[in-house]
Every structure is written in structure tokens, then in C-alpha cells.
């Protein structure tokens, strides 16, 4: 397994979108419910893709404690255990000595995860008292517009990548938005693939855009990984 991000920390800045106040049960139309579900899926898929892209390359992911994201990333971290003795890296590439994820307290007024202490006790995450002072890149996913001022803080000097297709603050934050350009690139290739024109089939097939997130995160890794020996 490659370890291009060994020793690097990627800051995940993410949240689910704010709930829209809807009066009366009739206002919750089928279309609105479907839209909210799609928003949740996009953010979930983007977070999962980023976590796997970072951890599979030997990096560490840092994020604010969250009731949904913390257990999700904790489960992903469990997929990347410490290698056994026969599979350990070369001496010049020491095995990971820190937890796969660094979790710091959420912003004032926001809830954290009830599973944080347990995930920390088994070594999957490292709970810290504050956000790390430095990181190698920041990735913005979803979020609420009220969080935008903090997300656009000028002291964030590391490379910034916004996954604008996940909506919310990520669609407005200052950062390199590479998912839209990649989506257009893939869409143009997809248009050349012969397929049956059936609205019924389209309803049964999940939105193709979700499949782009692993490619987006792989491209981010390519951009931030040190050049040279990729072993």
C-alpha cells in the first residue's frame, strides 16, 4: 500500500446542511424529502471518499467532533489497522505511531458524538483539546452558511479544496473547487457511452455524480502529496 501522505494531516471541515423550517406536514412534499436525502448522501459519500483516500495513503485526518461524522470516520479508520510484523514498512518508513484521526471539540453550541470516548479508548481516534495549529490541506464539505466566516478565515494558509457539489457553505467558501470541473469532464466522457434512454431506468440508478467523489479525493491527494518516491 502506498504511503504518499505519511506524516501529513488533512483537515476535514464538514457538516450537514441546515434544516429548512417547514410549517405543516403537507409542506414536506415528496420532492423536498428526496432533495434532503440527496443532500445527506452527497455529504456522506464525499466524507467517506476523503477519509479512505487520506488513510489509504498513510495520512491522518483531523476534524471537529460531530454526532454523525465522528462514528462514521471511526468506522472507516477501523478498516486500516496497524500492519502485522511481516507487513511492516521498511525501517526508513516507520509505522504509524499516532491515531488515524484527530478529533477536536466542536464549535460552541454544537453537539459532539457520544462515541468519541470509546473510539479514543481503542486507538482509532485521538481526541484533542483544540484544533491543530497547522495542517497540510483543508477540504470543505457541505456545512451551513452561518459557518462561512470561520471557514473563510484568512489565517488558513494551507491549500484549500471546496467540494462545492455538496452544497451549503462548501459551495461558497474560498477554495479550489475541483469537483465541478471533474464532473464536467466525466460527464462528457459518459455522454459517449451508448445507453438505453429510459426514464424508468434513470429513476432506479443512483445519481452518477456520487461516483465522482473517489476520483475527486484521489486528485486532491495527487495535488498535495510530495513529489518523488511514491512507494
What is the tens place of the pLDDT at every residue in 132-164? Answer: 888 999 999 998 888 888 877 756 678 889 998
What is the domain partition of the chain in residue ranges? 9-20+29-223
Per-residue pLDDT, 204:
47
Higher-confidence residue of 119 and 202: namely: 119
Q: What is the mean pLDDT of residues 29-45?
A: 81
Q: What is the mean pLDDT of residues 61-84?
A: 86
Q: What is the mean pLDDT of residues 220-226?
A: 93
Per-residue pLDDT, 218:
92
Q: What is the mean pLDDT of residues 118-135?
A: 85
Per-residue pLDDT, 171:
84
Q: Give the chain's mean pLDDT.
A: 77
Higher-confidence residue of 203 and 43: namely: 43
**Closest residue by Cα to residue 71 from 51, 42, 95, 46:** 51
The Cα 16–Cα 46 span in angstroms is: 11
Per-residue pLDDT, 49:
94
Report whether pLDDT(70) > 60. yes
The Cα 162–Cα 147 span in angstroms is: 14
**Would you give the end-to-end CA distance of the chain in angstroms?**
8
Per-residue pLDDT, 36:
77
Domain 9-20+29-223 sits in CATH 3.40.50 = yes
Quickly state the pLDDT bin for 205 (edges 50, 70, 90): very low
The Cα 218–Cα 163 span in angstroms is: 13
Alpha helices (runs of H) in 102-164, residue ranges in sequence order: 116-121, 148-151
What pTM, to 2 d.p., does this model score? 0.78
The Cα 190–Cα 185 span in angstroms is: 9
Q: What is the mean pLDDT of residues 218-224?
A: 92
Model confidence pLDDT, tens digit, residues 83-106? 444 344 444 444 445 688 999 998
Beta-sheet strand order (sheet of 60-64): 125-127, 101-104, 60-64, 9-15, 137-142, 160-163
Which residues are CB-contacts of 186 (< 8 A; sequence separation ≥ 6)? 208, 212, 215
Tell me what percent of the residues of the chain surpass a pLDDT of 90.
30
DSSP assignments along 45-95, one per residue: HHHHHHHHHHHTTT-EEEEE--TTHHHHHHHHHTTSPPPPGGGPPPTTSPP
Which residues are CB-contacts of 219 (< 8 A; sequence separation ≥ 6)? 178, 182
Per-residue pLDDT, 54:
96
Residue in the structure block whose three cell numbers are 438505453: 196
Per-residue pLDDT, 156:
65
Per-residue pLDDT, 92:
46
Asked if residues 132 and 126 have their Cβ atoms less than 8 Å apart, the reply is: no
Per-residue pLDDT, 194:
54
Quickly state the pLDDT bin for 13 (edges 50, 70, 90): very high
Quickly state the pLDDT bin for 193 (edges 50, 70, 90): low
Give the CB-side neighbour count of residue 111, counting CA atoms within 13 A. Answer: 7
Amino acid at each position: 500500500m502506498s504511503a504518499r501522505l505519511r506524516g501529513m494531516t488533512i483537515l476535514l471541515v464538514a457538516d450537514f446542511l441546515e434544516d429548512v423550517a417547514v410549517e405543516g406536514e403537507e409542506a414536506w412534499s415528496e420532492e423536498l424529502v428526496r432533495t434532503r436525502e440527496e443532500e445527506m448522501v452527497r455529504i456522506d459519500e464525499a466524507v467517506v471518499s476523503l477519509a479512505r483516500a487520506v488513510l489509504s495513503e498513510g495520512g491522518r485526518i483531523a476534524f471537529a467532533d460531530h454526532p454523525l461524522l465522528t462514528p462514521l470516520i471511526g468506522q472507516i479508520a477501523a478498516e486500516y489497522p496497524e500492519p502485522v510484523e511481516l507487513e511492516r514498512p521498511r525501517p526508513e518508513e516507520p509505522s504509524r505511531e499516532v491515531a488515524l484521526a484527530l478529533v477536536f471539540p466542536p464549535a460552541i453550541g454544537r453537539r459532539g458524538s457520544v462515541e468519541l470516548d470509546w473510539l479514543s479508548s481503542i486507538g482509532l481516534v485521538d481526541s484533542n483539546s483544540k484544533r491543530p495549529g497547522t495542517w497540510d490541506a483543508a477540504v470543505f464539505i457541505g456545512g451551513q452558511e452561518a459557518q462561512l466566516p470561520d471557514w473563510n478565515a484568512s489565517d488558513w494558509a494551507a491549500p484549500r479544496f471546496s467540494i462545492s457539489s455538496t452544497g451549503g457553505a462548501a459551495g461558497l467558501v474560498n477554495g479550489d473547487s475541483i469537483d465541478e470541473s471533474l464532473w464536467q469532464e466525466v460527464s462528457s466522457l459518459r455522454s459517449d457511452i451508448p445507453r438505453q434512454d429510459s426514464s424508468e431506468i434513470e429513476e432506479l440508478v443512483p445519481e452518477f455524480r456520487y461516483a465522482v467523489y473517489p476520483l475527486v479525493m484521489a486528485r486532491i491527494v495527487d495535488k498535495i502529496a510530495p513529489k518523488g518516491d511514491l512507494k
